[in-house]
Amino acid sequence: MTGGAGFIGSHTADVLLQRGYEVRLFDSLQQRVHPHGWPSYLAAEVETIVGDVRDADALARALDGVDGIIHLAAYQDYMPDFSTYYTVNTAGTALLFELIVGRRLPVQKIVSASSQSVYGEGRYSCNSCGEVYPQSRPEPQLTAGEWEVGCPQCHAKATPLPLIESAPVHPHTAYGISKYALELTTLNLGRKYGIPTTNMRYSIVQGTRNSFFNAYSGVARIFTLRLLHDQPPILYEDGLQQRDYVSVHDVARANVLALEDDRSNFRNFNVAGQKMTTVLEVAELLTSLCDKRQIVPQVSGEYRFGDTRHTVSSWEAIGSLGWQPDQGMEHFLAEYVAWVRQQPNLEDFYARSQQAMRSAGVIRRSDAAPS
């Protein structure tokens, strides 16, 4: 498994071990995610190899004797170092195929991490124009504090629809584009060279082991850290953005299902949570789970450049293979908060990542922001 030391990788490794697999983790131990090296939460039975998916020699060593791959290594951030998304996420995936094909390695299946970010602004319904696929919201609209998405044809307010795999994709961030390129690479090279592949378009994954050091925004992590430091969760826009949140345990099961079930071959699947939830609802639930009911989440009027307004995926397609999200948000967020409380030396990492995004111009103020 590439990226196996990470949040989703380590939980997927646990499921694989329970099912009797021998598991090898290949991971560069990205400094920001793993500042202390291999994380202590990894099971003792896994084999570990340090290496970068951009390094052919290291990757070849990791592929030796392997018959299935779960490919999770990725560069994920909001920072504008665009080329890194492509070199890690897309070129790293192409290198995987280059080695398998070039060395005729007997790999029987590759399951890769994609993301719902490939859908870009998503799928909407307009009363007059029907189903539409808007571009990302224009900057002047956001500066004016107008958050909702308009129909690209008549500009009337459009209503979000669940994202489905057959919908057109319009990734509009370097991360989303690199993941879409990953999907094209795995499906097309996979078909061409007879290597079954499946891409998993995860929604927002939540749960234990999500690194505090990863600036990539996990809303539960940021809100929980703030609440445990007696600071209110800060909501971008008006806090009414709709998302779906999926448990890392459910994601780990989905990865192993895709690895084992041939009906998943050469397909993309959403892996999504049970229901649509607003960011404000997440903040309120965490306020209660952290026993900080006196703290009121704050709407900052700021926005994160490149964010989508509403992004909720349907899991119907993977549901047809027998998967469903078992854990509701109350359950996995309670587990997460309990885990955070046990972590030693908690600092307010939120402030640091916030500062980094501000200085990179990712967080911006709208005219609606309180002065």
Ligand X SMILES: NC(=O)c1ccc[n+]([C@@H]2O[C@H](COP(=O)([O-])OP(=O)(O)OC[C@H]3O[C@@H](n4cnc5c(N)ncnc54)[C@H](O)[C@@H]3O)[C@@H](O)[C@H]2O)c1
Report the interface residues with ligand X, using CB under 6 A. Answer: 2-3, 5-9, 27-30, 33-34, 52-54, 72-76, 88, 92, 113, 115, 202, 204-205, 211, 214
- The secondary structure of 28-41 as a DSSP string is ---TTT-TTSS-TT
* For the chain, the helix, strand and coil percentages under 3-state DSSP, each to the nearest 5: 35, 20, 45
Question: Residue 90 or 366: which CB sits closer to ligand X?
Answer: 90
**Residue (117 or 366) nearer to ligand X, CB:** 117
Q: How far is the CB of 52 from ligand X (least distance, A)?
A: 4
Q: How far is the CB of 204 from ligand X (least distance, A)?
A: 5
CB of 261 vs ligand X, minimal distance in Å: 20
Q: Which is nearer to ligand X, 93 or 366 (CB)?
A: 93
d(C-alpha 9, C-alpha 248), whole Å: 10
Nearer to ligand X by Cβ, of 73 and 189: the residue is 73
Identity of the residue, 203 or 366, whose beta carbon is nearer to ligand X in the bound complex: 203
Residue 34 or residue 267: which is nearer to ligand X going by CB? 34
Q: Which residue is nearest to ligand X (CB)?
A: 6
Phi-psi category of residue 172: left, alpha or beta, with phi > 0 → left and psi -120 to 50 → alpha: alpha
Minimum distance, C-beta of residue 269 to ligand X, in the bound complex (Å): 12
Min dist. Cβ of residue 198 to ligand X (A):
14
Tokens matching residue 175 = 């991360």
Residue corresponding to tokens 């290594």: 73
Closest CA to 119 of 188, 175, 71: 175
Residue 341 CB, shortest distance to ligand X, in Å, is 20
What is the residue type of 145?
G
Answer yes or no: are the C-beta atoms of 45 and 285 closer than 8 Å. Answer: no
The nearest distance, CB 327 to ligand X, in angstroms, is: 15
Residues near 221 by Cβ (< 8 Å), separated by ≥ 6?
Answer: 210, 212, 340
Burial (CB count within 10 angstroms: exposed 0-12, middle 13-18, buried 19+), residue 364: middle
Whether 113 contacts 202, CB under 8 Å: yes
In the complex with ligand X, the residue whose CB is nearer, 216 or 365, is 216
